[in-house]
Structure formats: C-alpha cells, structure tokens
Structure 1
Amino acid sequence: MIKTYDKTTTGLLLVDPYNDFLSPEGKLFPRAKEVADSVNLLEHLKEILIVVRNAGIQVFFVPHHRSEPEDFQNWKHPTPYQLKSKQGQVFAKDSWGGEFHPDFQPHKGDVIIKEHWASSGFANTDLDHQLKMHGVQKIIVIGMLANTCIEATARFGMELGYHVTLVKDATAAFSNEAMHAAHEINGPTFAHAILTTEELLAAL
C-alpha cells in the first residue's frame, strides 16, 4: 500500500545530526561507520531533507542533550549509557562534536526541539507540543541511532497517537544486529510504515 504524506499534516524529525555521530572525526562515528556506509546514510539524509523541504513539509530538529562536565550530579538513577556519555563528553556543549553536521544545518522555518536527556525525543521536551501546534499527525523519523533515539522517539510518538514512518536506510547503528532489531523485530510492533529512502521519496 502506498503511503501518502500531506504537507499540512506531516513532519520530518531529524534526530541527533551531530558531528560526533556523522563526521569522520566525531567521537562516535567510528562505531557507526560500517553500518552508515553500508546504507549510504549521509546521502540519504541529504536527499530526504531536500525533497521534504521542496514539498513544504515542516522539519523538526530533535537533538540529544549536549554533555557538560557536571551532568547527572545528585541524580537518583542515571543510566550507564548516560554516565558513559558524560565521561566521554559526547556532543559536548560548545564543542565541534556538539554542533550539527555542516550538511544538516537548520533552515529558516525549521523548529529546533528542546534537548532530550535519554533516548526519546518526546520525554521532557516540547516535541509533542510543537507537533500539535504545527498540525502534524504523521511523523517521519530519521537520524541516529536506529535502536536507541530513533526507536524510542518513534515508539513514543505512536503511543501519543502519531502515524509513524521509519526509514531504514536513513539511520545507522553500532552493529548490523542492532539495525536488524530496530527494523525487523521492534519496528513492526509500533511503526505504521518502514520504508527505504527510495520508497519514501516516491511517496513524497
């Protein structure tokens, strides 16, 4: 079945397009490089953004918290993942790694959501409010990483009543196993559509 994406009710969520993820010198890029290269990630992200903007679909940047040295002090339950990110100062505030990749800079009219602290772009941010205020009912979720922030954001979106589309070659992970889990095992339990970039662009 061909999915349709009306520009008045569709939003593109670009999750965590940071240098640390997407640039060769980034702190996390080496871990995602093999998978990212195998799906031609950067080119697909660029293609989608061009077509989405030309179609008049609203773009939302959904950024992860930018690390600071004092993060999580006196927190009751920081996760090992959060503490490791703090230790490595991943996406560090006011650093090159914590800047958006040069190919994925916000344009006038794009909406930059408040930073999320863990995996979901909805939890403790203004994402749901911004989507509702823009009349969005369908969300297309792309960016990093497939089995963490993409999955958590998309799953949360479904729970809130949004129509969710995943794009399996416009994301990456640290292993092929994680990609398989994200799109073949977990994704079908919550996503309304799981497409390739080619399929998405045809629908747009």
Structure 2
Amino acid sequence: MTTYEPKITAVLCVDLYNDFLSEGGKLFPWVKEIAKENNMVENLRTVVQTAREADIAIYHVPHHRWESGDYVNWKYPSPYQLGAAERQAFAKGTWGGTFHDDFQVQPGDIVATEHWASSGFPNTDLDHQLKRYGKEKIILIGLLANTCLEATGRIGMELGYHVTLVRDATSARSPEALRAALDINGPTYAHEILTTAELVSAIKASI
C-alpha cells in the first residue's frame, strides 16, 4: 500500500467553487447526477478533513475567475475557454466564483495562482509552492475528472510527483467521460487510483 507521509504529501483541491458544487451554480447541472451517485461532496469533505487531521497540507488549485474582456485579444482561445467566458463561469467577485463554504481557505493552506486552461501547473506557481515545502506526493480531488484533474495529474507526473486520483471525490459531465478519466487515461499517469475509503485508510496507516 502506498504511504502518505504528511511531510511530503499535499491534497490538491481543484476548482471547488460554488458554480461547480452548489445548487444554483452555473456548472452544477453538468456534474449533478454523477456527483450525487458517488456522494462526491461528502467524499470531498472526508478527504479534506482526514488530511487536515493528519497534518497533510491543503492546496487550493483555482481556475481563473472570469472577468470582462477575458480572451478577447487571445489569438487561440480554446472552445472550452470561450464557453467558460460565455457562461461567465467562476466570475470574479460573485458567489459562483467563491469557494464552497465547506472548502474555504484556512490558516496554513496554500492557494496557487489561478490556471487559465485545464492544468493547475502551467503559468502558475503551483510547482514552486509544492517544491518549496518539500511535497512529493499529490492527491487530486475536485472537478472535472477529465479536464482539470487529468491535466493537472498528467503534468504533475511529468514533473516528478507521485499522483493519486480519488474515484468518488470527482465528477464529470457523463459516465463515459468519468470512465475515460479514471479507467482508461488515469492508469497511464496516476500511481494510485483509490476510493475515498481506501485513501482514508492509507492516510491513517501512514501517521
């Protein structure tokens, strides 16, 4: 079993905004069905609480919060970025662009600079903030499984991190997308793909 020594482990909370996690959020309808099936929000709470109790660092990995004028002068914005701008997803200064009440930043947490596309690493300080504190193992939770989690995990592996995905602490727009992220693509880069219960057991066995 993989160990998760608190000194070298971090939980990466990816895009835990109200727009994704809360009724009334702009993107919540995308993930609602699968999130309810796998008890996602409760599992997110469990992972974060277990990590805090084990003195494992919590890193917030936030998507760029939309502002007027975003992407207007970009030469090659992606369809995903343009769609987010059209919806004004995670708009800065709004309830939707605020972290969910259960996942607010607490003293000692690290907040990475916002990522503009899917991965939490390019053009942000996430790699620096992890290495600065000696983190080698990253546990990814949040949304979406096949976009930001997958992109962050892939690059994390390329940068030399040990990567863990958590099956029931994420969601996607369709069962096919979730299966692709966890069962087809995940094993090509992730070192562990666990359930919340399996992860909790591994963390508790490591302290």
Give the deviation of 1:68 after TM superposition: 1.0
In structure 1, what is the Cα distance between the partners aligned to 2:173 and 2:105? 26
Say if 2:31 is the partner of 1:10: no
Q: Aligned runs of 1:19-38 on 2, under 5 Å?
A: 19-38=18-37
CA distance in 1, matches of 2:105, 2:193: 25
- Report the AA paired with residue 171 of structure 1: T
For residues 1-204 of structure 1, the aligned pairs below 5 Å read 2-204=1-203
DSSP 3-state at the match of 1:139: strand
Distance 2:181 2:83 in 1: 22
Tell me the TM-score normalised to structure 1 length: 0.99
Query: How much has 1:54 moved relative to structure 2?
Result: 0.5
CA distance in 2, matches of 1:80, 1:45: 29
Instruction: State the 4+ residue runs in structure 1 displaced beyond 3 angstroms.
Output: none
Query: Identity rate of aligned residues, in percent?
Result: 60
Paired with 2:29 and 2:86, the residues of 1 have a C-alpha distance of 18
3-state SS of 1:13 partner: strand
Q: Give the CA deviation at 1:163.
A: 0.3
Q: Alignment RMSD, CA only?
A: 0.5
**Which AA in structure 2 matches 1:168?**
R
* Aligned partner letter, 2:92: K
CA displacement at 1:60 relative to structure 2:
0.3
Please give the per-residue CA displacement for 1:141-160, whole angstroms capped at 9, x wherever unaligned.
Answer: 00000000000000000000
Cα deviation, 1:37-65, whole Å, max 9, x if unaligned, reads: 11100000001111100100011000000
Number of residue equivalences: 203
Letter in 1 for 2:171: A
CA–CA distance in structure 2, aligned partners of residues 174 and 192 of structure 1: 24
Amino acid at match of 2:49: I
Q: Distance in 2 between matches of 1:51 and 1:86?
A: 35
Counterpart-to-counterpart distance in 2, 1:183 and 1:197: 14
Residues 158-201 of structure 1, C-alpha deviations (whole Å, 9 max, x = no match): 00000000001000001100100001000000000000000000
Whole-angstrom distance in 2 between the partners of 1:74 and 1:92: 19
The Cα of 1:134 is off from its aligned counterpart by: 0.7
**Aligned AA (1:119):** S
**Unaligned regions of 5+ residues in structure 2, if any?**
none
For the residue of structure 1 that corresponds to 2:103, the secondary structure is coil
Q: TM-score, normalised by structure 2?
A: 0.97
